[in-house]
Amino acid sequence: MDDVLRYEGTRALVTGAASGMGAATASILAELGAEVHGLDIQDGDGSLDNLHRCDLGDPEAIDSVVEVVGGPIDSLFNCAGLPTTAPDRQVMLVNFCGHRHLTERVIPLMAPGGSIAFISSVAGMGWIVNAASMLAFVAQPDFAAGETWLDANPDPWTGNGYVCSKEAINTYVAWRGFQLAP
């Protein structure tokens, strides 16, 4: 192997690929030789050949895109996210429930040795303190169950959706990573 950073012959899926960190990730992966499939609710600038419109707040839209992209998928980069200015419930649905739904749909399509990465934030640094209580949300089996949990338990996240969404991501990665490790 000449270059351990090459992605020649691999397929990568990148959320938030139309702008910001997602677009930068998609561009770098393409330069390194990957076949990149981007997901975003927005149109891109045309620089990405395979940009699929997808609302991460809609599990049916996620399922449709996964069906179109198919497998195998070597790498999943979860870069999309709503900011603190968006409504808290929508932030929780997109930043966590949507990414978890996508990740769980992609796992069966992943090639051996595949990788999954999430962009979190300094806002999620306190996840370890809240991990036990956050696990009740994170362990919900699917998008709909996560949405139901949010409706039944508004206190932890209302007024704090962005921070809670990032703590949920960090908790999920720690919890699910152990289950997926070889």
pLDDT score of 83? 95
User: Which pLDDT does position 151 carry in this prediction?
Assistant: 96
CATH architecture assignment, domain 11-180: 3-Layer(aba) Sandwich (3.40)
Long-range contacts from 81-87, C-beta under 8 angstroms, 24+ separation: 81/16, 81/119, 81/165, 82/162, 83/162, 84/123, 84/161, 84/162, 86/161, 87/161
Distance of alpha carbon 165 from alpha carbon 80, whole angstroms: 12
Cβ atoms of 47 and 62 within 8 Å: the answer is no
pLDDT the model gives residue 127: 83
Is 134:171 a contact under the CB 8 Å cutoff? Answer: yes
* pLDDT at position 90: 97
* Sequence letter at residue 47: S
Of 15-29, 101-115, 150-164, the least confident: 150-164
Instruction: Name the pTM for this structure.
Output: 0.93
Q: What is the pLDDT of residue 4?
A: 67
pLDDT confidence of residue 129: 78
Summarised one tens digit per residue, pLDDT across range 40-79 is: 999 988 788 899 999 999 999 999 999 999 999 999 999 9
Domain boundaries, the chain: 11-180
pLDDT-based confidence at residue 80 (cuts at 50, 70, 90) = very high
pLDDT confidence of 1, banded at 50, 70, 90? very low
To the nearest 10°, the Cα dihedral for 67, 71, 77, 80? -10
